[in-house]
Amino acid sequence: MSATATIEKPETKQAVSELDQLKRFTKVVADTGDFATLKEYAPQDATTNPSLILKAAQMPTYKSIVEKAIADNRKSGATGEALLVQIMDDLLVLFGIEILKVVPGRVSTETDADLSFDAQGLVAKAHRFIELYKQQGIGRERVLIKIASSWEGIRAAEVLQREGINCNMTLLFALPQAVACAEAKAKLISPFVGRILDWYKAKAGKDFPPAEDPGVLSVKEIYSYYKKFGHETEIMGASFRSKGEILELAGCDLLTISPQLLGELKNGSGTVARKLEPAVAKESKIQKLPLDEKKFRWLLNEDAMATEKLAEGIRVFNADAGKLKQYVAQRL
């Protein structure tokens, strides 16, 4: 060795976070209306709902967005309830536009919860959102219209999908809802993992480990069904209560995750193993479920958890939309 030779120190490998490992085989979506969070965790897409927009709208950082929605719609000449409805629609879209400046993919914008049993009303609201986005130069390919997975909501999605308007079917708690959404060719479904767990915890009076979590098992069943029968509808696990639930669904098409759990994943350095594989799912022994409206309503009625959580979810989103409307009205 020459006198001038140097001995190189071995490089120290930096641990890859659980979040980055998860992103290798699952599209990560941020469940928030807070743009700062989006920048921090670099998700592909983002989802919003009335509860998240209500929370964001009350933050001083986003006061200007609320003021813009009010100012722009005052010029329309509308008054009273009509003005409030216009402002609410505009506000949801303005938040969506800001989100799309941060995420490279899509944003989900939620329809009014009180339209959940009105197929025509849902189609009209979706057209309104798409037009508002278009006016701001945003193409429909970057927008998912969120609709509750009621029978009427699924029928609205069927119409919209034929028009090239993609839908995110939310408040989904059971296989019959998932099958009906897939047969309507909905772009995406959002099974609510944590809310399913909440119901079973309350009934059983005990907690469940992630591998036995009823919400996790529900998504695994839907995943197996879709892959076995060739449905192209994307599955996006949602409403998580713990990091363990998320890791049990590693490999799902998409997972929408709250800021708190994104933080836990980013700070975690454990090994993330893929739990859901299309090839394995295709070999599952799950049976095909024939559905029409009568069968759908009967099976949903027989599932107390799905019936109760769907109804509760619609009520909660409607209540938060009402609070958001009140917040806006106070500023008019």
Distance of alpha carbon 23 from alpha carbon 7, whole angstroms = 37
Annotated catalytic residue, options 146, 187, 275, 309: 146
Distance of alpha carbon 174 from alpha carbon 197, whole angstroms = 13
Distance of alpha carbon 91 from alpha carbon 132, whole angstroms = 10
Beta-ladder partners of 168: 146, 188
Q: Which two tokens stand for residue 181?
A: 């959404």
Torsion of CA 157, 295, 302, 246, to 10 degrees: -40
The position carrying tokens 């209306």 is: 33
- For residue 125, what are the CA distances in angstroms to 60, 133, 147, 160, 186? 29, 12, 10, 11, 17
Residues near 243 by beta carbon (within 8 Å), at least 6 away in sequence: 18, 261, 264, 265, 268
What is the phi/psi pair of residue 274, to 5°? -70, 125
Catalytic residue flag (residue 282): no
Is 286 buried (19+), middle (13-18) or exposed (0-12) by CB count in 10 A? middle
Distance of alpha carbon 16 from alpha carbon 274, whole angstroms = 15
Residue 7 CB neighbours (<10 A): 5
Which residue intervals of the chain are DSSP H helices? 18-22, 35-41, 50-57, 63-74, 80-100, 119-135, 151-162, 175-183, 193-204, 214-228, 243-248, 259-267, 278-282, 293-302, 304-331
Which residues belong to the active site? Answer: 146
